[in-house]
Amino acid sequence: EIVLTQSPGTLSLSPGERATLSCRASQSVSSSYLAWYQQKSGQAPRLLIYGASSRATGIPDRFSGSGSGTDFTLTISRLEPEDYAVYYCQQYGDSPSYTFGQGTKLEIK
Amino acid sequence: EVQLVESGGGLVQPGGSLRLSCTASGFTLSSYSMNWVRQAPGKGLEWISYMSSTTNTIFYAASLKGRFTISRDIGKNSLYLQVNSLESEDTAVYYCARGAMGAYYYHYMDVWGEGTTVTVSS
């Protein structure tokens, strides 16, 4: 099973700042089958990024994903008030088990 | 509008059982691969089970120890999760989530329901 480790656990930034979230895999993620989700308190997760770098429908272009192999990054170029949430990475390239990272909480500084 | 709505959660004693439901609207559930994902209170997301659109491929997380069963009803456009021999560690919000159109495993989850809460306690 591929283990995903996200860092930092908590990220404190001000609106307008740039956020960089990391997701490291215990082994290579095939074909960059890596997704990012946003979850706000009391809500379901929302797909942001798939295939490591493709934005899902309706996701603003301030969100971008990059990386391959074992190291992946989610970047939010300029934080908006609605971006404060918990972010999870997920790999879907390992059969028969998908796995999620433990999450990064993005909080207002 | 594409939507998933879960139901069937509740308070159950240790050792008990529940059947969780997930009803789709705005799309034909049987054309897609589907998943169940859970989230314990204050914790992260845990994938539980996958069913391909053809139902030929079904996977479960190893941690479930064979206690959960995924199924669907085409006529009701619904997905189910039978959960047996419940333990306190199964207390969580259970989400259904849509995968690929077709029987393709290597796919992200693009539509999620709001979840149904299962509490296991005596």
What are the pLDDT digits (tens) for A7-56? Answer: 999 999 999 999 999 999 999 998 889 999 999 999 999 999 999 999 99
Region A95-104: mean pLDDT is: 94
| Beta-carbon separation of A45 and B112 below 8 A | yes
Question: pLDDT class for A96, splitting at 50, 70, 90?
Answer: confident
- Tally A–B CB contacts below 8 A: 64
Q: Is the peptide bond before B41 cis (omega within 30 degrees of 0)?
A: no
Q: Which of A30-34, A35-39, B31-35, B69-73 has the lowest mean pLDDT?
A: A30-34
| CA distance linking residue A85 with residue A104, whole number of Å | 8
Interface test with A, best of B60, B105, B108 (most A CBs within 10 A): B108
Region B40-60: mean pLDDT is: 95
> Average pLDDT, whole number, for chain A?
96
| CA distance linking residue A14 with residue B121, whole number of Å | 41
| Percent of chain A with pLDDT strictly greater than 70 | 100
Region A73-98: mean pLDDT is: 96
Q: Which residues touch B59 (CB under 8 Å, ≥6 apart)?
A: A95, A96, A97, B49, B50, B105
Asked whether residue B65 carries a pLDDT value surpassing 90, the answer given is no
Do A55 and A48 touch, CB atoms closer than 8 A? yes
| Beta-carbon separation of B108 and A45 below 8 A | no
For residue B5, the distance in angstroms to the closest alpha carbon of chain A comes to: 11
Region A58-72: mean pLDDT is: 97
| Beta-carbon separation of B50 and A96 below 8 A | yes
Chain B residues near any Cβ of chain A (below 8 Å): 35, 37, 44-47, 50, 59, 61-62, 95, 97, 105-110, 112-115
